[in-house]
Chains A and B, each alone.
Chain A
Amino acid sequence: DVVLTQTPPTLSATIGQSVSISCRSSQSLLHSNGNTYLHWLLQRPGQSPQLLIYLVSRLESGVPNRFSGSGSGTDFTLKISGVEAEDLGVYYCVQGTHAPPTFGGGTKLELK
């Protein structure tokens, strides 16, 4: 199975600070069809996960544009340009290129 390694496991930030989360894959996530099925989710405390970014860099409808995704192959990054209080929670990367789908271990974003 593909292993997704997220760093850091915990991230402390102040409101307005820009932060980045890394997701590294044990295999290239480039599919033979040319797509890279790497997505980012946010799980706020006590809530279900929600999709933020899909296919590496595409912003899900309704998600603020302070969120952005980048990367290719095995290295991916989620950036938040100006953290807001509502952004606190656990961020997960997830891949769907290789069966079975796998999730990263999560990065907890908390207030400093």
Chain B
Amino acid sequence: EVQLVESGGVLVQPGRSMKLSCAASGFTFSSFPMAWVRQAPTKGLEWVATISTSGGSTYYRDSVKGRFTISRDNAKSTLYLQMDSLRSEDTATYYCTTAIHDYWGQGVMVTVSS
């Protein structure tokens, strides 16, 4: 059974940092480009970042460039999202997903507030 399990979400103050993790199982993680997608409360889906299978190529939406870093550890079948200089507008549920959207995690809530 395919599973993507996110962790790391919590309440954080503006300007602080947070790191999300996504543990994958049930499929060959290293063969799939991966992505983070977020959903602000009561809003639609918004792509955040994508990483290639090797991790050598990464892509970000403009609003998070320079603040967020996507990475992966294929030996551990784990995807990461390092989020720095967090802003209130980053408040959302963050989903780990394959880049072609066929597998999704359960999501983790990140709240940025003082």
By a beta-carbon cutoff of 8 Å, the part of chain A in contact with chain B is: 39, 41, 43, 48-51, 54, 60, 90, 92, 94, 96, 99-106
Contact = CB atoms under 8 A, between A and B. Distances in A.
Nearest to A40: B101
A101 B36 CA distance: 11
5 contacts: A49-B95, A92-B44, A96-B100, A102-B47, A103-B45
B14 interface: no
Interface of B: 35, 37, 44-47, 50, 59, 61, 95, 97, 99-102, 104-107
Nearest to B106: A48
A48 B104 contact: yes
Mostly, the A contact residues are: strand
A103 B47 contact: yes
Contacts of B99: 96
B44 A101 contact: no
Given A49-B101, A54-B102, A60-B102, A103 B107 contact: no
B104 A50 contact: yes
A76 B95 CA distance: 25
